[in-house]
Chains A and B, each alone.
Chain A
Amino acid sequence: DTGVSQDPRHKITKRGQNVTFRCDPISEHNRLYWYRQTLGQGPEFLTYFQNEAQLEKSRLLSDRFSAERPKGSFSTLEIQRTEQGDSAMYLCASSLVWDWGSETQYFGPGTRLLVL
């Protein structure tokens, strides 16, 4: 399968611990997005990369969150000092952008985080 993959699929952690999630986009996709989805809500944008450059960050992305995309391939999202309010599904999406209108985002299965 050559779709977007995310690891781990589930993560349970204790409040105050650090967690890191990984996203592998579809090969040759130049854009990669992170979204957060809480129960009963639609996904909310966190940040995105074009190649290795982080182009935009939402105000939802507090200082405890950091994302990287070294070499423009896979991406990691780290949450430091987790809080119970961080419990959510973290979705990754990738796309190939050659003009603005052409972009279609393909989503991964998500990482479900539970902070105890």
Chain B
Amino acid sequence: AQTVTQSQPEMSVQEAETVTLSCTYDTSESDYYLFWYKQPPSRQMILVIRQEAYKQQNATENRFSVNFQKAAKSFSLKISDSQLGDAAMYFCAYRWGSQGNLIFGKGTKLSVKP
């Protein structure tokens, strides 16, 4: 069975600094997709970034980038120049190629200190 593990329940970063959130996953599939979702307090979940397993190049979206290590089954999220609005729960998620549903980790609560 596929699983997603986020080993950091909470993280803290100073405003304008860089923080990295960790995620590992377990799968025997070769065709899959990985996602980071952000869930601000009392607000809906939004997609931050996605990575296709067949792509070697790490995905980047403005201040957000990933470090995708396929052999190690690791998918970390780096947030550069952290802003107060980045404070939220961050969930790592996996989707097998032909499957629709996402499998989520337990999340990492990110706090940003001014």
User: Do B107 and A42 have beta carbons less than 8 Å apart?
Assistant: yes
Q: Which of B64-72, B77-85, B96-104 contacts A (4 or more CB under 8 A)?
A: B96-104
Q: Contact at A105–B44, with CB atoms within 8 Å?
A: no
A110 to B101 alpha-carbon distance, docked (Å): 17
Q: How far is the CB of B21 from chain A (nearest CB, A)?
A: 13
A45 touches B46 (CB 8 A): no
**A43 close to B102 (CB less than 8 A):** yes
**What does the 1/0 interface line of B101-114 toward A look like (CB < 8 Å)?**
11111110000000
Whether, in the assembled complex, A17 has its beta carbon less than 8 Å from a beta carbon of chain B, the answer is no
- Residue of A at shortest CB range from B99? A56
User: What CA separation (Å) do A8 and B107 show in the bound complex?
Assistant: 25
- On chain A, the number of residues with a Cβ less than 8 Å from chain B's Cβ atoms is 29
B104's partner among A4, A44, A95, A108 (CB-CB below 8 A) is A44
**CA distance in complex: A22, B83 (Å):** 35
Chain B nearest CB, measured from A11 CB (Å): 16
Chain A, 35-60, contact with B by CB distance < 8 Å: what is the 0/1 string? 10000111111001010000110100
In the bound complex, CA of A31 to CA of B101 (Å): 10
Contact sample, A vs B, 19 pairs, CB 8 Å cutoff? A40-B106, A40-B107, A41-B107, A42-B91, A42-B93, A43-B45, A43-B102, A43-B104, A45-B102, A45-B103, A55-B100, A56-B101, A91-B45, A95-B100, A103-B100, A104-B47, A104-B50, A105-B47, A107-B44
B52 within 8 A of A: yes
List residues 92-111 of chain A with CB under 8 A from any CB of chain B: 95, 97, 100-101, 103-110
